Each structure stands twice: as C-alpha cells, then as structure tokens.
Amino acid sequence: MSATIISAIRALGRLVLRALAGLGQVVLFAGSTLTHIVRPPFYPREFFSALMNVGYLSLPVVGLTAIFTGAALALQIYSGGSRFNAPEVVPQIVAIGMVRELGPVLVGLMIAARVTSSIAAELATMKVTEQIDALVTLSTAPLKYLVMPRVLAGILAGAILVAVADSIGIFGGFAVATQILGFNSTTYILNTINFLTGEDIISSLAKGAAFGFIATLMGCYFGLNSGRGAQGVGAATKSSVQAAAVLILTANLLLTAVFFTA
Amino acid sequence: MIKFDNIHKSFGANQVLRGVDLTLERGQSMVIIGGSGTGKSVLIKTVLGLITPEIGKIYVDGQDVTQAKRDNFLSQFGMLFQGGALFDSMPVWQNVAFRLQRGHLKRPKAEAREIAIEKLRRVGLAPDVADRLPAELSGGMQKRVSLARAIAAEPEIIFFDEPTTGLDPIMSRVINELIREIVVEMGVTAMTITHDMTSVQTIADKVAMLHGGVIQWCGTRDDMAHSGDPHVDQFVHGRAKGPIETLC
C-alpha cells in the first residue's frame, strides 16, 4: 500500500476520531444541561427573556417562510397532480407536507439561522470578555443561568413555532388553491381537517421541540467553548449554525422513521 | 490566609506555573508583578476555581479549595477583572447588585438597588449612573463599577487583575488610591496583579515577583528597592537589558 493511501486513511481516521470526540462532548454537555432542569436555582426572568427571543421574535421570519412555502407547495402539487389526473389532492398533500415535514424542518432551520447564531455570538463574546468567569466568581453557574433557560425556551418555542408554521403554511396553500386554482374553500378546509391525524400533529410538535432543543443547545455549546478574540467568536458562530443545521436534518430523519415506520 | 503550595499548570506544551509557593496573610495586600504571559492571572484563577492546577494545593484559611465544592468558598471572594467583565445586557446597578439578587445573599430588589447605589457612591460614581448600561460608560467608570461589584457583597478576600490597564495616568492613580482606601477601610485581604509600578507603590504591603513559573522574589514593598534580585531590579526599573528575556 502506498504511503499516500496510508496517510489518507490516517487523516480520515483522525477526522472520524475528532468528530466522535466532539459528539461525545456535545452529548455530555446536553446531559449536564438536562440534569439542571430539575435542580434549583431556577431563573424565570432569563427563561422568559429567552422565550421572547427564540419564540416571539422568530414569528415574522417563520410566518413568512411558512406562508410562501405552503403557497408554492399548493401550486406544485396542483401541477404535479394534474399529470395523473389528481389535482384535487392539493389540500391533503399540503396539509401532510407542511405538518409532517416542511413545518418542523423550516422552523428548525430558521431557528438555527436566527437564534443559534445569536446565542453562540452572545455567549462567545461573554467568554472572551471574561463575563462567564465573572458569573462563576459571583457564585452563578453558567450552565444554569445561561444555558438552561435558553434550551428550555428553545424546546417550548420550537413546538409553538411549528404549530404556527403548520397553520400558516396550510393557510398559504388554502389561499392559492381557493384564489388561483379555483378550489372551493369549505371543501378545502374539510379535506384538510379530515385528512390530518393526531399522530401527524404530535409528531410535528415533537419535532419542533427537538429541533428547538438542538438549535439552542448548539448555540450554547459553541458559544461557551469558543476560541479567543473576534476570530474565536466568528468561528463559534459559524460552527454552531452548521452543527445545528446538520443535526436538525439528521434528527428529522430519525424522528420520521420513529413516528411513521414503526 | 491564602497559601499556594507547589502549584503547577500547563496549557498544552506551555508550562506556565512550575511550582508556585506563596503565602498571603489575612488583612494583607499583596501585589504580584511579572512580565506578560508569566501566569499571574492564571494564579488568581486557580484560587477562584476557574482554572484547575495539575499539581499542588491552595489553602484558604486552612481549607484546600482545589478539593472543595466551589460554591462553598466563592462567596468570600470578590474579583475585579482586567476588562471589567461587566454584564453588558444589564444596567449598572444590576451588575453591582448581581450577587445580592441571587442565592443565599439575596435581598429584596429595592434593598439590593440601594446597596448598589451606595457602593457606586463609594467608588465615586453618581447615583444616576445606576440605570445606564456598561457600554455607555468610559473605561475608568467601568473599572469603578467593576470595583463596586467586587465589594458589593462585602467579601473577605478581593482579587484585582490589572486594575489600571487601559487607563490614563490620572485615572490609574484614582483607581489605585480607591483600591487602597477600600482595602484598608474594609480590612480585607487583597491580591493584585499588575505591571504598573505606581500601583505597587500605592496598593502593596507585600510584593511577589512571578518569573519562569515560580515566585522569583517575595518581600515587603520597601524591601523591593534593594531586593538584590536582578530580575526584580530589571522589572522595577523597566530596563530592556537584564536576566529577563525581552525577545518573544
């Protein structure tokens, strides 16, 4: 075996080991965070502030993304369905597409873009300016004061945002179907309601909660483990969004498999 | 009493502390001098539990803090960070009263605010600063706020990390004198890290020089002028030539 191949295998091995070590650290971090959920002290003010940031302030971008996606989905399904004489499936497919997949995934990615990056940048800046050390010297655990409120807010806001995105996305499909494609509005609504099951909605909300957890956890993890200076803050922000997006898409596949193939 | 016993700490291949032995008596104000990157801040952070030494023990009043639960001893410490380390998301008074709004030192909000304003006054800041954000203050004012935060819970031991860095000479003198006054008035034990020889003259009862990862010299402020140690001489007089390497 040539030296080039051996060095390539070594490099691959190092990469895999580093990735596994990183994953292990994230799992430990997540474990520590979750154990703090049930142990006092609690910081309700920090929780509500995080809920405002993660949830309420994400509503405009989530709403816009959902309505345009739902509307485009209706046009696509109508066009695709017409190829095999089934354009009437628009309400059902828009509903199932938004609730099972697009709503949760879009919300997850929007939170990753908007919230993960801001949490990572904020905590990384706090780290490089010694504010995290200051917290510790003031007898306050950063995991409890900074991480837990954000992660809890991420879980709750993720589920709520998905419910909002699902509803607005379905409304986007409804608007296009009834105003442009000539669907009857009552029939559209009835078809949507009758087609969706409780399992669809529960899976959607569960995915939202899981993606909110991942997005906020990644922001906190990379923020608290950032390198020094402006470059460290930038790298932490970039890595947090990348990791959150990849983990959200991976978790989406796993959760879909759990909910719909078991 | 704070006692450092054979403290070692490395960061990767860089061995910063190589066996620091140092004792600071109750009510004493010790200043640690030494070149940049010699591990002075690392030494302070080992007491606070922010950095764990690989070898060695640190005793505070006979208790080994490297083995103790951090929450049990942190409440007796106050710390002024080099850059202030004020929480930029909260107004000045909440920064100062941070410790008084949480944990076993928690007070009602109005009382915590009152104490914060009193401490701000003590460091020479007007009460109207209380509701401003740290970013709206000058460097000197931020240092004062940080000092007010360090003394707010009336700790027994205060650490000052480069208290005059980044300040003009007049403001440096003001901060030095303020630190001295507070240390004397509160009767606290103080450990200060600085490069600034004016700070040494104003604040120190005792001076220790950290060089090469160990305490190179330790003595009273008055002894420093005739220490007989070439490292101390070079540092005190700011000479480029001498036993301390100036090449990076």
Number of neighbours of residue B113 by Cβ within 10 angstroms: 21
- Under 8 Å between Cβ of B209 and B20: no
- Cα A251 to Cα A107, B59, B242: the distances in Å are 13, 48, 62
A137 and B103 in contact by Cβ < 8 A? no
Give yes or no for a contact between A194 and A90, defined as CB atoms under 8 angstroms apart. Answer: no
Quick one: B114 and B148 in the same domain? yes
Q: What is the pLDDT of residue B247?
A: 56
Q: From B111, B127, B154, give the residue that closes a domain.
A: B154
Cα–Cα distance between B119 and B133 in angstroms, integer?
17
Task: Please indicate if any CB of chain B lies within 8 Å of the CB of A130.
Answer: yes
Using the predicted structure, report yes or no on whether residue A260 has a pLDDT greater than 90.
no
Give per-residue pLDDT as tens, B4-62: 999 999 998 899 999 999 999 988 999 999 888 889 999 999 999 899 999 999 999 88
How is the beta sheet containing B14-24 ordered, strand by strand? Answer: B14-24, B2-11, B55-60, B63-64
Considering the domain boundaries, does residue B191 fall inside one? yes
Contact between chains at B48 and A129 (C-beta distance less than 8 A): no
Determine whether the interchain pair B81/A138 forms a contact, defined as Cβ–Cβ distance below 8 Å. Answer: no
Q: How confident is the model at residue B235 (pLDDT cuts 50, 70, 90)?
A: confident
Dihedral Cα B131, B135, B137, B139, nearest 10 deg: 140
Q: Which of A39-48, A137-146, B236-245 has the lowest mean pLDDT?
A: B236-245
Q: Are residues B148 and B97 in the same domain?
A: yes
The H-or-E segment that residue A210 falls in is: helix A198-224
Rounded to the nearest integer, the mean pLDDT of chain B is 89
Q: Is the pLDDT of residue B74 over 90?
A: no
Cα–Cα distance, A250 to B152 (Å, whole number): 48
Return the pLDDT at A1: 63
pLDDT of res. A131: 95
Q: Which domain holds residue B133?
A: 83-154
Decide if pLDDT at B217 tops 80: yes
Least confident piece of the model among A53-62, A175-184, B78-87, B232-241: B232-241
Same domain, residue pair B247 and B163: yes
pLDDT at B173: 87
Position B7 in a domain: no
Q: How many CB atoms lie within 10 A of CB B93?
A: 23
Average pLDDT, chain A: 93
Q: Are B18 and B39 in contact (CB under 8 A)?
A: no
Q: How far apart are CA B227 and CA B219, in angstroms?
A: 8
Is residue B240 very low, low, confident or very high in pLDDT (cuts 50, 70, 90)? confident
Residue B201: CA count within 13 A, CB half-sphere: 7
How far A196 CA lies from chain B's nearest CA (Å)? 44
What is the torsional sign of CA A180, A184, A188, A189?
A: positive
pLDDT of residue B246: 66
What single-letter DSSP state applies at residue A2? -
CA of A128, closest CA in chain B: separation in Å? 9
3 state SS of B24: strand
Does the structure show a pLDDT above 70 at A262? Answer: no
For A78-129, what is each residue's pLDDT tens digit?
A: 999 888 888 889 999 999 999 999 999 999 999 999 999 999 999 999 999 9
A69: amino acid identity, one letter = T
| Beta-carbon pairs below 8 A across chains A and B | 50
Model pTM above 0.90:
no
Same structural domain, B126 and B172: no
- Whether chain A has a CB inside 8 Å of the CB on B68: the answer is no
Q: How crowded is residue A186: how many other Cβ atoms within 10 Å of its Cβ?
A: 9
Q: How many domains does chain B have?
A: 2
| Domain edges within chain A | 1-39, 42-260
Q: Would you say residue B55 lies in a domain? A: no
Question: Do B167 and B71 sit in the same domain of this protein?
Answer: yes
Q: Does residue B220 have a pLDDT over 60? A: yes
Same-domain check for residues B185 and B171 = yes
Segment B86-99 mean pLDDT? 94
Structure tokens, A112: 């990753």
Name which of A36, A139, A144, A150 to mutate to probe chain B: the one with the most chain B Cβ atoms within 10 A of its Cβ.
A139
B234 and B167 housed in the same domain: yes
pLDDT at B72: 73
With a cut of 80, say whether residue B117 has pLDDT above it. Answer: yes
To the nearest whole Å, the CA of A248 is away from the closest chain B CA by: 29
Pairing of strands B14-24, B2-11: antiparallel
Helix (H) or strand (E) holding B153: none
Q: Return the structure tokens found at B162.
A: 């480069």
Residue at A50: amino acid letter: A
* CA geometry: angle A24, A25, A31, nearest 5 deg: 90
Q: Could you say which of B74, B87, B88 has the minimum Cβ distance to residue A139?
A: B74
CB-based contact, A2 to chain B, within 8 Å: no
Residue B36: give its domain's CATH number.
3.40.50.300
Question: Do B98 and B191 fall within a single domain?
Answer: no
- Tokens (6 digits) for A185: 């509005």
Tokens, residue B191: 């450990």
Say which DSSP state B51 is in: S
Q: Can you say whether the dihedral through the CA atoms of B90, B92, B94, B100 is positive or negative?
A: positive
**Residue A235 identity:** A
Give the range with max mean pLDDT: A67-76, B63-72, B216-225. A67-76
The CA–CA distances, whole Å, from B82 to A200, B42, B143, B160 equal: 54, 13, 8, 8
Give domain status of residue B5, yes or no.
no
Neighbours of B230 (CB within 10 A): 14
**Phi, psi at residue B193, to the nearest 5°?**
-110, 130
Whether A140 contacts chain B with CB within 8 A: yes
- Would you call A129 an interface residue with chain B, using a CB distance cutoff of 8 Å? yes
Percent of chain B with pLDDT over 90: 49
B242 touches chain A (CB under 8 A): no
DSSP-derived pairing of the beta strands B157-161 and B189-193: parallel
Task: Please confirm whether the linkage preceding A41 is cis (ω < 30° from 0).
Answer: yes
* Closest chain B residue by Cα to residue A128: B85
* Cβ pair B50:A136 closer than 8 A: yes
